[in-house]
Every structure is written in C-alpha cells, then in structure tokens.
C-alpha cells in the first residue's frame, strides 16, 4: 500500500510583501524632516547673545572701550574716531577710522579754510539705551584760513552707534555707524564746497594693509598674507544739508584716496549747489566682515542645525533601508 504524503510549501504572504521602491528618494523625506526638527530643537537651546554693555573705561588702544561679544570698539585718544576689532581673534586685527579735519575748498580744489578736529575740546555724552550703543562727541571748533588766521568757528557733532550682537540683521552687530553734523560754517565764499578728511589706519602694521574694494565708496583692510578682508570702511554716496535759502538739499560726494596701504586718508568733497549751505550731515561706517549666514543665523550657530539634520536623515535612511531589505514573513500551507 502506497503511502502518500503532503508537501509543505513556503509561500510569501502577500500581505507582508515589501512595497515597490519608489523612485526619487521620497521615502527619505520623513527622515529628513525628523532630522531637521531635532536640529531646530537643539538650535533653540543655543545660548542667547549677551546683553549689550554700556561703554566703560578701559585700556584697549584708547581711553574708552566697548564690546558686544563679537566686536570690540575703542574710541581713539586723539581726534575723534573709533577702532573696531574682532573679539577673540588670534591675531590683533583692527581698523581705525577717524575724522581729522573739515575744509572749505574752491571749485578748483584749493583749500581756503580748515577746522582741525584734532585740537578740539570734545564734550562726550554716553547716550546708550537698551541694546543700542551710542556715543556722541560735540565741540565748537576754530576755523582758520589758508594763512592760519582765525575766521570763525563751526559746531561739529560726531555720533558713534552700534547694536547688540546676534540680532536678526547680523551686520548691525558687527559695525559702528558714524554720523557727522556740521553747523554754522563760516564761509569764505558761499560758492565754495566743504570736504572731510578721514584717516584710516590698520591696527597692527605689517599684519594688515589697506586696499581698494570692489564695492563703490569702500576701503578694505586685508590680511597681508592671505588678502582676506578683515574690516572695511564705507561712506555714503550723498549727504544732506540746508541751502542758503533754507531749503533741504542733497549733496553728492566725490572721494579721493591719499596715502598708501599702511595708512591712507579718504578725502570726501561734499558737492552741491552754491549759496553757502549749512546744517550738513554725512554718514559713514567702519565694521567687520559679516560671516556667512544660513537662514538669517550666523554660520557658527547654524552648523549644529545642519549637522544634526544630516545625521538624523542618515540614521533614519539606514533604518528604512534595513526595513526594505528585511525578508517577508513566510506562510506555510499544505
């Protein structure tokens, strides 16, 4: 008598079959989103920038100094000006910018009167409020003609403004804004023009040099070896004033650079209609190069976000790949 038998056949349960792999890597999108979410959580735990301190007495290249954690600013002891430098830099980088003199010149370029700001007695006011640093220098400065004879005086106000580091507009925490106001200028001839002399000086001779920038109305301070830009000085392409008839007006600027890579002076002529304009106001900026940013945040702050997001995506992707390659469950049937 023949004995029969029943074979056992292993069949894949269609319910456990691995789905077909979709093209384009869409299965990794949830993993990437999870990684980004984790990165955002860690990004939110980064320490907030320190509150802006008021200016205090110090010994960093001048009688007064201030820092917001990214930028150090020191008022220079002679004339009226400021030096900026990166906080925590391994090298003593820095750029000094000041306002040395105001001059009246003829249309032909001859100087007929000068106010030497280096000899003025300044009244200094610390007007810092909350997250804004503001120092204001005011003086009545004697004006002399080309022969050195007194011809009167002019009222000059120079303001220095900076913001806390880490603000939404990153650049605002890495620069000092300069505003120069000139009033009651004793014109030799109302058809003349007024100009400013603004010296620039690298903090450390031999470490940095001055160089023309590709951006208009800008001078750079670059590393002598690498030519990387460390600081810059930029001036406005226009100024404001009040005409001889009392009408607000805009003055164009015409800048020339005198000197060399180790020390230079930006000579800025304020050009406008004749008539002895007054209440002149001009702006400039001295600052540090802004670091690259991601999503409006400094690159140094954004790197943890990027790293965690990538790591999370990789881990999740590996997990998905293992699941995709897992053998299907077997269902034995007779």
Model confidence, pTM: 0.70
Residue 27 is given by DSSP the state G
User: What is the Rg, in whole angstroms, of the alpha carbon atoms belonging to the chain?
Assistant: 32
Q: Is the backbone of residue 176 left (phi > 0), alpha (psi -120 to 50) or beta? A: beta
How does pLDDT run across 240-280, given as a tens digit for each residue?
998 877 889 999 999 999 999 999 999 999 887 656 788 89
The C-alpha atoms of residue 332 and residue 8 are separated, in whole angstroms, by: 7
* pLDDT for residue 330 is more than 50: no
Handedness of CA 118, 119, 120, 123 (dihedral sign): positive
pLDDT tens-digit series, residues 37-74? 655 565 555 544 443 333 333 333 344 777 777 888 88
The SS3 of residue 7 is coil
Question: Which CATH code of 2.70.98, 1.10.4030, 3.40.50, 3.30.420 fits the domain covering 63-290?
Answer: 2.70.98
Give just the sign of the alpha carbon dihedral 118, 122, 126, 127.
Answer: negative
Cβ–Cβ contacts within 10 Å for residue 268, how many? 23
Give which of 231, 235, 212, 233 is closest to 221, Cα–Cα.
231
Residue 321 CB partners (closer than 8 Å, separation 6+): none
When mean pLDDT is compared across 69-78, 144-153, 185-194, 295-304, the lowest value belongs to 295-304
Q: Which of 220-229, 240-249, 286-295 is predicted most confidently?
A: 220-229
Q: Where are the domains of the chain?
A: 26-57+298-334, 63-290
User: Strands, DSSP E only, in 31-165?
Assistant: 56-57, 64-67, 71-75, 80-86, 95-99, 101-105, 111-116, 123-126, 132-145, 150-163
3-state class (DSSP) for residue 101: strand
């Amino acid at each position: 008598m023949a004995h029969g038998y029943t074979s056992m056949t292993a069949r894949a349960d269609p319910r456990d079959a691995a789905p077909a792999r979709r093209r384009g890597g869409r299965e990794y999108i949830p993993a990437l989103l999870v990684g980004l979410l984790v990165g955002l959580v860690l990004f939110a735990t980064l320490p907030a920038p320190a509150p802006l301190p008021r200016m205090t007495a110090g010994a960093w290249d001048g009688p007064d100094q201030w820092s917001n954690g990214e930028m150090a600013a020191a008022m220079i002891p002679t004339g009226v000006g400021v030096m900026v430098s990166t906080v925590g830099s391994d090298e003593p980088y820095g750029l000094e910018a000041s306002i040395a003199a105001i001059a009246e010149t003829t249309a032909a370029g001859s100087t007929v009167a000068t106010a030497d700001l280096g000899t003025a007695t300044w009244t200094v006011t610390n007007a810092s409020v909350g997250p804004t640093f503001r120092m204001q220098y005011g003086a009545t400065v004697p004006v002399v003609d080309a022969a050195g004879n007194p011809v009167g005086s002019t009222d000059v106000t120079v303001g220095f403004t900076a913001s806390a580091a880490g603000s939404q507009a990153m650049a605002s925490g890495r620069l000092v804004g300069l505003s120069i106001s000139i009033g009651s200028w004793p014109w030799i001839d109302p058809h003349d023009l007024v100009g400013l002399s603004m010296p620039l000086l690298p903090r450390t001779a031999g470490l940095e040099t001055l160089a023309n920038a590709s951006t208009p109305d800008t001078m750079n301070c670059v590393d002598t070896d690498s030519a990387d830009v460390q600081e810059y000085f930029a001036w406005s392409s226009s100024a404001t004033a009040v005409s001889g008839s009392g009408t607000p007006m805009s003055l164009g600027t015409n800048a020339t650079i005198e000197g060399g890579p180790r020390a230079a002076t930006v000579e800025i002529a304020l050009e406008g209609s004749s008539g002895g304009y007054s209440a002149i106001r001009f702006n400039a900026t001295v600052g540090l190069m802004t670091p690259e940013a991601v999503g409006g945040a400094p690159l140094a702050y954004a790197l943890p976000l990027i790293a965690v997001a990538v790591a999370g995506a990789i881990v999740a992707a590996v997990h998905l790949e293992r699941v995709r390659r897992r053998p299907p469950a077997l269902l034995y049937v007779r």
